[in-house]
Chain A
C-alpha cells in the first residue's frame, strides 16, 4: 500500500512541479508585479511599490486600454454571435439527409487547423485596399473600393469576419456531434403528436442542445477575448487603435515599452472580466431542466 502511494507521488510530482513553476507561481508573481513598477531588468526585490495605481491609471487614464477593451468586447460579441448562429445553422443542414457529409465537414474545417498567422497573411492580401481580390470583385461590379482592414470604420468588422471564417467549422463539428446525440425517439414521438419542424426545433433540439450551446458560447467567448495573432499580423491595432485589442496592447506595453507592472495589471483586469462573463454565461445557460 505504502509502495503504491510512493508510485502515485512519483507519477504526479513532475507535472505538479511544472504547473507550479509555469502556471501557479507565475500567476501569483504576475499579481505581485501588477502592484509595482518594473522593467524586467532591475532586480525583483527592488521593484518600486505602486499599490493599485497601475489599475487606477488603466481604468481612468489609459485611453488606448479603454478603447482596446471596447474593441475586444465588440470583437467577442460579434464573433460569438455569428459563430453560434452559423455553427448551429450549418450543423442542422449537415444533420439532415445530405450527401457527402464527411466532405462538407472537411471543407468547413480547413481553416480551423490552419495557423492563425497564415490566415492573417492570406486575408491581409485578400482584403488589401489596392490589390485585394475582394476589392477587385467589388470594383468589377462597379462599386466603390473599400478600405477594409485599413479603414477605421471597417477594420474591426473585417477582423470579426476573419475570426468567424477561422473558427465556424469547429463549432459546426461540435454542434453536429451534439445534434447526433439527441435520440431520434423524441422526434418520432413529436411527429406522432403532429409537431411541425419549428416546434421540434424549439421544444426538442434547443433544450437538449443546451449543454453544447453552453460549451460553444463559453469557450468561444474566452478565446475571442484573448485574440492576439490575428490582430498582430493584420492591422497591428491600426488605424488609430480602431482594432487594438487588450492582449495586443498588453504585449506592446510589456515587450515594446517594458512596463511590466502596467501590463500585468491589464492581464488581471482582463482575467477578472473573463471569469465574470464566464460565470454569467454558465448561470444563464446551464441546464435548468430540474428547476423549471
Chain B
C-alpha cells in the first residue's frame, strides 16, 4: 500500500469512487424509476420507443390513488400493529432476559435451553399450527391474530440476557439494600443500562413486523385491517393495467420509511452492526 507510485494512487482512488458510485447508482435507481413512472400517464409507460421522463409530471396520479386506496388506514394499521409488537417484544424480552441473567431459580438452566432451542425454529415450520391455533381462538381477521403470536421472541430474550448478564451484580444488590423493589430495579437500573440493546432489538422487530407479509396475508382478509405490504399486494391486481398508479402506491408506502431511516440511520446501522459482532 505504502509503495504505490504517485501516479497510481489517484487512479486507484478514482476507481474506488467509480465503483462505489456505480454500486450506489444501482441501489438508488429502482427507487428513482418508481417515482418517475409514478408521474407518467398510463400511455407513456407503454410507448415505443420508450420515453425516459413524463412529458408533464402527473401529480394527479397521487390524488387518484388517494381516492381509491385508504392510504391512511394502511398506515394506521402498520403503525399500530408494529408498535404493539415492538413494545411487546421489548417488554417480554427484557423481563425474561433479566430473570435469566440475574436470578437463581429451579429450572433456570432447563428453561434457558428451551429458549435456545426455539431460537432456531424457522417460522415456516410453525406456520400451519399457529394459523390453526389463531383460527381456533377466533382471531382470524383481527388485530390480535396479527399481533399476539409476534409479541415474544426467543432471540430477543437471548439477546437481552446476554447484555444484562454483563451488568455488575453489586449494582442490583446495592439497590436491594436501599429497599428498592424488584420491579423498580428492573425499571430504574436494568432498563436504562441496556438501552443500546433495546434499541437494536426494537429496530429489528420493527423492520420485521413493518415489512411482514406472509403472516398478515394468512390472517387478514378485510381491507380495513390491511397493513402496507398487504395494501401493495392488493394494488398489484387492482392496478394491473395502471403501472403508473401501482408505482405511486408503492412510493407512498415506501418513501416515508426511507426518510425515517435516513434520519435515524446512525442508530439503525450501529444496532445492526452490533448483532453481527455478538453473533
User: How far is A90 from B118 in the complex, measured between Cα atoms in Å?
Assistant: 34
The reply to whether the CB of A144 lies closer than 8 angstroms to some CB of chain B is no
A-B contact list, 13 entries, CB within 8 Å:
A11-B96, A11-B186, A15-B152, A19-B115, A23-B118, A30-B128, A115-B213, A115-B232, A174-B273, A229-B213, A232-B214, A233-B233, A267-B128
Give chain A nearest CB distance to B192 CB in angstroms.
18
The reply to whether the CB of A77 lies closer than 8 angstroms to some CB of chain B is no
Contact B253 A5 (CB under 8 A): no
B31 CB contacts on chain A under 8 angstroms? 110, 122
The reply to whether the CB of B86 lies closer than 8 angstroms to some CB of chain A is no
Contact A114 B258 (CB under 8 A): yes
Residues 223-263 of A at the B interface (beta carbon under 8 Å): 226, 228-229, 232-233, 247, 250-251, 254-255, 260, 263
Question: Do A40 and B132 contact each other (CB < 8 Å), given the known contacts A8-B103, A113-B261, A233-B236?
Answer: yes
Contact B154 A19 (CB under 8 A): yes
Contact A110 B258 (CB under 8 A): yes
Q: How many A-B contacts if CB must be within 8 Å?
A: 251
0/1 string, B90-119, CB within 8 A of A gives 1: 001101101110011110100100110110
The reply to whether the CB of B1 lies closer than 8 angstroms to some CB of chain A is yes
The reply to whether the CB of A51 lies closer than 8 angstroms to some CB of chain B is no
B246 CB contacts on chain A under 8 angstroms? 121, 125
Contact B121 A226 (CB under 8 A): no
Contact A98 B37 (CB under 8 A): no
Residues 121-147 of A at the B interface (beta carbon under 8 Å): 121-123, 125-126, 130-131, 133, 136, 140
Give chain A nearest CB distance to B278 CB in angstroms.
9
Contact A177 B277 (CB under 8 A): yes
Contact among A24, A200, A264 with B128 in the assembled complex (CB-CB below 8 Å):
A264
Contact A105 B129 (CB under 8 A): no
Residues 213-228 of A at the B interface (beta carbon under 8 Å): 214-216, 222, 226, 228
Residues 42-76 of B at the A interface (beta carbon under 8 Å): 45-46, 49-50, 52
The reply to whether the CB of A183 lies closer than 8 angstroms to some CB of chain B is no
Contact B2 A122 (CB under 8 A): no
B24 CB contacts on chain A under 8 angstroms? 104, 107-108
Contact A5 B95 (CB under 8 A): no
Residues 146-187 of B at the A interface (beta carbon under 8 Å): 149, 151-152, 154, 157, 182-183, 186
Contact among B100, B105, B128, B149 with A22 in the assembled complex (CB-CB below 8 Å):
B149
Which of B33, B106, B213 has most chain A Cβ within 10 Å?
B213
A26 CB contacts on chain B under 8 angstroms? 125-126, 128-130, 133
User: How far is A102 from B132 in the complex, measured between Cα atoms in Å?
Assistant: 45
Contact among B114, B229, B261 with A19 in the assembled complex (CB-CB below 8 Å):
B114
Residues 1-38 of A at the B interface (beta carbon under 8 Å): 4-5, 7-9, 11-12, 14-16, 18-19, 21-27, 29-30, 33
User: How far is A136 from B48 in the complex, measured between Cα atoms in Å?
Assistant: 9
The reply to whether the CB of A159 lies closer than 8 angstroms to some CB of chain B is no
B118 CB contacts on chain A under 8 angstroms? 19, 23-24
Contact among B105, B211, B258 with A116 in the assembled complex (CB-CB below 8 Å):
B211
Contact B95 A11 (CB under 8 A): yes
The reply to whether the CB of A176 lies closer than 8 angstroms to some CB of chain B is yes
Give chain A nearest CB distance to B142 CB in angstroms.
16
B277 CB contacts on chain A under 8 angstroms? 177-178, 181, 212
User: How far is A109 from B260 in the complex, measured between Cα atoms in Å?
Assistant: 13
- In the complex, the 3 A-B pairs of residues with the closest C-beta atoms, listed nearest first: A177-B273, A26-B129, A8-B103
Question: Do A121 and B103 contact each other (CB < 8 Å), given the known contacts A222-B122, A254-B128?
Answer: no
The reply to whether the CB of B16 lies closer than 8 angstroms to some CB of chain A is yes
A109 CB contacts on chain B under 8 angstroms? 261, 265, 268-269
Contact A255 B218 (CB under 8 A): yes
User: How far is A238 from B277 in the complex, measured between Cα atoms in Å?
Assistant: 39
Residues 1-43 of B at the A interface (beta carbon under 8 Å): 1-2, 16-17, 19-20, 23-24, 26-28, 30-31, 33-34, 37
B124 CB contacts on chain A under 8 angstroms? 226, 228, 247, 250, 267, 270-271
User: How far is A90 from B115 in the complex, measured between Cα atoms in Å?
Assistant: 36
Contact among B20, B125, B132 with A268 in the assembled complex (CB-CB below 8 Å):
B125
User: How far is A22 from B153 in the complex, measured between Cα atoms in Å?
Assistant: 10
The reply to whether the CB of B81 lies closer than 8 angstroms to some CB of chain A is no
The reply to whether the CB of A173 lies closer than 8 angstroms to some CB of chain B is yes
Contact A118 B16 (CB under 8 A): no
User: How far is A22 from B108 in the complex, measured between Cα atoms in Å?
Assistant: 20
Which of B31, B127, B277 has most chain A Cβ within 10 Å?
B127
The reply to whether the CB of A197 lies closer than 8 angstroms to some CB of chain B is yes
Contact B214 A96 (CB under 8 A): no
Question: Do A118 and B254 contact each other (CB < 8 Å), given the known contacts A15-B95, A105-B265, A197-B1?
Answer: yes
User: How far is A23 from B232 in the complex, measured between Cα atoms in Å?
Assistant: 29
Contact among A30, A212, A222 with B276 in the assembled complex (CB-CB below 8 Å):
A212
Of chain B, the residue at the smallest CB distance from A97 is B13
B115 CB contacts on chain A under 8 angstroms? 19
Contact among A18, A93, A107, A228 with B28 in the assembled complex (CB-CB below 8 Å):
A107
B200 CB contacts on chain A under 8 angstroms? none
